Amino acid sequence: MNKVENSKAGTVYPFLDARTPLKNSNMLPVKLSVNIKGEVFRIGLKLHSTPEIFNKAISSKGSITNEAKKLKAEIDIYVNKAKEIFEQYPHTTQKMFVNLFKSGSALKVSGKTDLAVLFQSKIDELTEEDRPGSISFYEAALRTFRKFRNTLYLEDITVEWLKAYRAWYVNLGNSYATAQMHMRCVRHIYNRAIKDGYISQGMYPFKDYTIGTASKSKNVLYPEQLKMLWNYKPLNIWEARSKDFFILLYLLNGMNIKDALSLKGTDVRGDMISFVRAKTSKTNSETKEIMVYLHPEAKRIIEKYGSLKTTDYIFPYFRGTKSDIERQRAKILIAHAINNNLWPIGVAIGLPMRLTTNLARHSYATRLKIDGVSTAFISDALGHSTGAITAHYLKTLPDAQYKKISESLLTFK
């Protein structure tokens, strides 16, 4: 049995691991040594053998016993699977190789490439980069694609497939915006696949299909609704905390909950606090520092639930965490708790939409728009890279504003 070689992908060969013999036996585990671009690792097989039988199975020289023939056939199955992985995925990584090797499904189906494998490779990279937010986007997209079609191959992604997916997803009651997010994920995977040689540029479906952008306006709280929230008397400490955090996010330039929980005492500079949005800190080549004035009410809320005098995280929820993935889990828990208690508050004050922390950001931007603040300033305060992004956050004016404008149309001085 010869060592499998692939100059573009790697090499693999079977060996006996003398370090871990079976107890009270001369049998040793059979393993594969895999070398991918200089990265060497081992994979255990469900095989054991004596050195004598293993050597006969590998060399295939001279007379070979039935036991050695059986072992050779079993090893060949594993080696051939490794060779298939190298042939079909020439840019495989260790994680991708191990996942494919341990998978019980067939690697090749009419020469097509499993899209889920390429998605998982991207998710593995994001995990290494400690980017839980992006991981959740790709995982959510992959889950919906699998629900849409039982089989998922790169070559099946056509203009017709994309149109059918969007129609199916929206007909389930989901938003166009979320469908577009999922399709941006598959577009990124497709572009990577072209670069890595899995598929030709001529098959690219996105040259004839435009994903587009969602134009749906955001839900917001207008000044009169914010006043009702401000005057609301919480029924318990959980409602009090949820109301306080909503007001805090609103006062901190519509900051999202993760950025608020990520603030540290070292970010405070007198009556100002600076931060970089977590959403863009790992994707933009130039990070944009956002300065926020600490309103007295914001200071009161921070001191009630945390501390401005610490060098650690201002709020206790992220203290002791070691990675963004851990912080993402903590954020999900606290955001879920806050939003659960905001819901009955919104019902009590008669809001037409569900009250969540997300509305703080949209409400802040819209309040500035109503007050006549320029889009350029709002864009800077929100940390947006362009005014076009800010426009997506600016809800239309409230009905009372339209009425006032209309009534003035025939008023002449």
pLDDT digits (tens, 9 = 90+) for 77-126: 888 888 888 887 887 888 878 877 876 655 555 567 888 889 988 998 88
Q: Report the chain's mean pLDDT, rounded to a whole number.
A: 83
- In eight-state DSSP terms, residue 285 is S
Residue 199 CA to residue 62 CA, distance in Å, equals: 45
Boundaries of domain holding 357: 223-404
Pairing, β 39-49 against β 28-36: antiparallel
Note whether 127 and 62 are same-domain residues. Answer: no
pLDDT on residue 394: 55
Alpha helix stretches (DSSP H) within 104-256: 115-128, 132-148, 159-171, 176-195, 223-231, 237-251
Q: Where is the domain boundary, 38, 55, 90?
A: 90
Is pTM beyond 0.85? Reply is no
Confidence of residue 5 (pLDDT cuts 50, 70, 90): very low
How many structural domains compose the chain?
3
In a domain, 304, yes or no: yes
Note whether 257 and 375 are same-domain residues. Answer: yes
Note whether 395 and 250 are same-domain residues. Answer: yes
Q: Determine phi and psi for 93, rounding to 5 degrees.
A: -110, 175
Q: Determine phi and psi for 267, rounding to 5 degrees.
A: -85, -10
Note whether 260 and 172 are same-domain residues. Answer: no
In a domain, 45, yes or no: yes
Look at residue 4 and tell me whether its pLDDT is greater than 60. no
Q: Where is the domain boundary, 155, 181, 207?
A: 207
Note whether 252 and 315 are same-domain residues. Answer: yes
Residues 6+ apart with CB under 8 A from 227: none
pLDDT digits (tens, 9 = 90+) for 172-207: 988 888 999 999 999 999 999 888 878 888 889 999
Residues 6+ apart with CB under 8 A from 78: 14, 32, 45
Note whether 333 and 377 are same-domain residues. Answer: yes
Residue 74 CA to residue 351 CA, distance in Å, equals: 67
pLDDT digits (tens, 9 = 90+) for 330-352: 999 999 999 999 999 999 999 98
- The answer to whether residues 231 and 193 touch, using CB atoms and an 8 Å cutoff, is no
In a domain, 212, yes or no: no
pLDDT on residue 302: 95
Burial class (CB in 10 A: 0-12, 13-18, 19+), 43: middle
Note whether 315 and 263 are same-domain residues. Answer: yes
